Structure 1
Amino acid sequence: MIPTELTYREKLQPWCIVRQLPKMQNIVVARFTRRNDAEKYLSVLRRLLPTAPHKIIFASMLDRSSAR
């Protein structure tokens, strides 16, 4: 059985950078405790991968099945 709840570590890091894929799929690229850290990491990602769409989300109540 695959657990659908967030782990304790994931709950401590609610800010996520998500890469958007076709067919409404998402992959969590990185997790952060502070939004400021996520924004800085996102700016680096946008410089390294300018054509890949990434977003910052707050995922404290998000379960794993919808984040992938």
Structure 2
Amino acid sequence: MTHSERFRPWIVIRLLPKMQRVTVGRFRSWSDADGHLRALQRLVPGAQFRIIFDPEDC
């Protein structure tokens, strides 16, 4: 894990079939992650995205 990733605990992920997921972005604040999530939902309406908190990296 890089230094910049360590201070970005909020992660936006895209849910895929068969319990897979792809990390779309890492953010310092929940509100930044939420704004990115809302934009993604408008751009890719059929996909499922979630915001998760990764406490091990804090």
Pair 1:52 & 2:47 matched:
yes
2:18 to 23, 28, 40: 23
Greater Rg over alpha carbons, structure: 1
Q: TM-score, normalised by structure 2?
A: 0.87
Alpha-carbon offset, residue 50 of structure 1: 0.7
Structure 1 stretches of 4+ with a deviation exceeding 6 A read none
* RMSD (CA atoms): 1.3
Number of residues paired by the alignment? 57
In 1: Cα distance, 2:52 partner to 2:6 partner: 13
Select the structure that is richer in strand. Answer: 2
| Identical columns (%) | 42
1:40 is the counterpart of 2:35: yes
TM-score (normalizing by structure 1): 0.76
